[in-house]
Structure 1
Amino acid sequence: MSKRDLIIFITLSFMWSLSFVFYRIGVPEFGSLAFASLRVIFAGLVMLVFVMVNKKNRDGLRDHWQLLALVGIFSAALPFVLFSFSAQSVNAGVLAVLNASVPMMSGFIASTFFKDRLSKRQVLGLVIGVIGVAILMSESLFAGGVSEAGLANGLLPMGYALLACVGYAVGANITRHYLYNVSPVAITAGSLIIASILMLPVAFYAFPYEQSISAKAWVSVVCIGVFSTAIALIFMNQLIKNIGPTRATSITLVIPIFAIILGYVLLGEALDTRAIIGSVVILIGTYLSLELSVKKLLKS
């Protein structure tokens, strides 16, 4: 992993963590399903500009639209909708733990269906990372992590979230193994434009027409669509091509750290010992799963 890839990895972690702040602002006014749909639509509109101004991107979309449709469904439309349903009954702490299963799923799919072998160091790092996330979110997991309906009624929403993670993992492997010769911008543009077309009816159906939406909520949904989806997925697709789907999706292990820092700085949330210990464990696991070498990074 080069120093450039590591910078992209850290930047992307920050951009996706910022989406938690946008969700905090926008979801109460739009509702989870309408917010998720608008997120994809605004991201698709941004990427439409990239397609219109660049012939190479148009050619990539035209030549690979079938695969890009699959990536759009598995990496954007399906996960965003499933997480929106899950978030109605499962709190953010549990969702973060479930989301951290993406690299494990991606590694399983890559090794089972594409014969990509994971090193023992990668497997160890992924396991340690998941343990770190569990420590980070332990209070949410074991002190009312599921809604008042109880654990039984919470199993189905958690299943939605896990299915969304499978979607992320499948989309990442399709990108890595079938779209390796397509530019990250073209991949992002094609997948998000197609996903936004699919989500348009959902947005019309779920939009809260009877409610007045504040300017702050509109800004949040635009920002999450532009920065935390469109631009972020360009970076993600570049990472997948450079370092592979398993190491790229291990970013889901780091996102809770940035989310806690942003919550502390921007929202005044508490920063306790458990958060610090969990963050350290996650960083160790991520270091191992990415197979980083300090000496090589300093030389690069």
Structure 2
Amino acid sequence: MTARGWFLFSLMGVVWGIPYLMIKVAVEDLSPSVVVFTRCALGALLLLPFALRQGGLTRTVRTHWAPMLAFACIEIIGPWFTLTDAERHLSSSTAGLLIAGVPIVGVLAARFFGDTEVLGVRRIMGLALGLGGVAVLTIPHLTGGDARSLAEVLLTVLGYATAPLIAARHLKDVPSLHLTASCLALAALVYAAPAAATRPTEIPSTSVLLSLAGLGVICTAVAFVAFLELIKEVGPTRSTVITYVNPAVAVAAGALFLDEPLTASVLAAFTLILAGSVLATAAGPKKEGPKRDARRVAWSTRQTSRADGRVESP
């Protein structure tokens, strides 16, 4: 991975590890619709001026409206509500750990969409370990309102795993600002009416307002542009590997700021999901193909494909 790829990876590992904490704080006083609307509206207001200044926004939307709409629904409109609603009953640590299953689901989603790469024993073991970690984490919560919340988080995982595939296959030529600003603006419009209907009667506390600001500015506007650039830099499957880091940040933040317990089951689930994700997203066995010129070619950063990090000879 290039230096630029490592920078984007590190940035996203932290920036998308803290939303769980901020969401948990915000839903104590606000409805999920208000939280999602505010997050999207802030992000759109910050990014739309830059997208318009870049030029071609209308043409981009007109040309790519179908995959952009699909991306907005699968990455933002659906998952952000289900995740936010789930955190009314689940701890931020649990939500963050479950989201760590995204790379595992991403491998399965890639195969569903036509990826014919051989999985191999190591990757199959990774899928099994990851699912085992999810089971360790979810089984104690399969009662009452927690069951619904777990289902909502798993729907979020499915969306987060599928959306990067859409971006990589159908939106790779769309400027990141155009895609992000348009999708956030659409999501804000979708949640405007529900947010107005459930708006608070009093001004929220300072901690809630700061959480909303952090969600909109750092975890949405900045993070989405960086994430789309990361997809272009290292590919859709490798880009989801940021969820290796996200749960560690989420668990640490929950323990430090919300006094959420670090139980044995949480640590066991984290270990299994992390190990499973690493194995499940490892490079698969190489297929035998036509023999190519065996001459050794000096490696250069120019030879690294921005689509998926492969090194190709000139």
The two structures have a TM-score, normalised by structure 2, of 0.76
Counterpart of 1:250 in structure 2 is 241
Tell me the residue number matched to 1:191: 183
CA shift digits 1:140-167 (9 cap, x unpaired): x455x35xxx35x543333233223222
| 1:235 corresponds to 2:243 | no
2:212 to 221, 227, 246: 221
Asked whether 1:164 is paired with 2:148, we answer no
Give 3-state SS (helix, strand or coil) of 1:213's partner.
Answer: coil
How far off is 1:65 after superposition? 2.6
Measure the CA separation in 2 of the matches of 1:226 and 1:70: 23
The farther-off stretch of 13-22 and 125-134 is 125-134
Query: Match of 1:184, as an amino acid?
Result: S
Match of 1:296 in 2: none
Counterparts in 2 of 1:85-96, with a 5 A limit?
85-96=85-96
**Contact 2:93-2:251 within 8 A present in 1 as well:** no
Native 8 Å contact 2:100 2:247 kept in 1: no
> How far did 1:270 drift?
5.6
Instruction: Please report how far the alpha carbon of residue 179 of structure 1 lies from its aligned counterpart in structure 2 after TM superposition.
Output: 0.8
Equivalent residue in structure 1 for 2:198, among 200, 206, 213: 206
Aligned to 2:147: 155
Matched, 1:42 2:42: yes
User: 1:287: Cα distance to partner?
Assistant: 4.5
Larger C-alpha radius of gyration, 1 or 2? 2
Q: What SS does the corresponding residue of 1:17 show, helix, strand or coil?
A: coil
Tell me which protein shows more helix as a share of its residues.
Answer: 1
Q: 1:128 to 1:250 in 2, by over 3 A?
A: farther
Which one-letter code corresponds to 1:226 in the other structure? V
Structure 2, unmatched stretches of 5+, are 284-299, 302-314
Superposition deviation, residue 63 in structure 1 = 2.6
SS in 2 for 1:117: coil
Q: State the shift of 1:273 in Å.
A: 7.0
Residue number among 161, 164, 173 corresponding to 1:181 in the alignment: 173
Give the Cα separation in 2 of the matches to 1:224 and 1:86.
17
Q: Is the 8 A contact 1:41 1:200 kept in 2?
A: no
SS of structure 2 residue aligned to 1:218:
helix
Q: Could you tell me whether the CA contact under 8 Å between 1:100 and 1:130 is conserved in 2? A: no
Q: CA deviation at 1:32?
A: 2.9
- C-alpha RMSD over aligned residues: 3.1
Deviations 1:50-103 (A, max 9, x none): 222211555433432332122111111111112233333444454334423322
Residues 91-120 of structure 1 deviation map (CA, whole Å, 9 limit, x = unaligned): 445433442332233222221223352643
> 1:121-132 residue pairs with structure 2 within 5 A?
121-125=122-126, 127-129=128-130, 131=132
Report the Cα distance in structure 2 between the residues aligned to 1:101 and 1:16, rounded to whole angstroms. 14
Q: How does the TM-score come out when normalised to structure 1?
A: 0.79
C-alpha change, 1:116 and 1:175, in structure 2 (3 Å) is: farther
Number of equivalences: 284
8 Å CA contact retained: 2:100, 2:273: no
Sequence identity percentage = 24
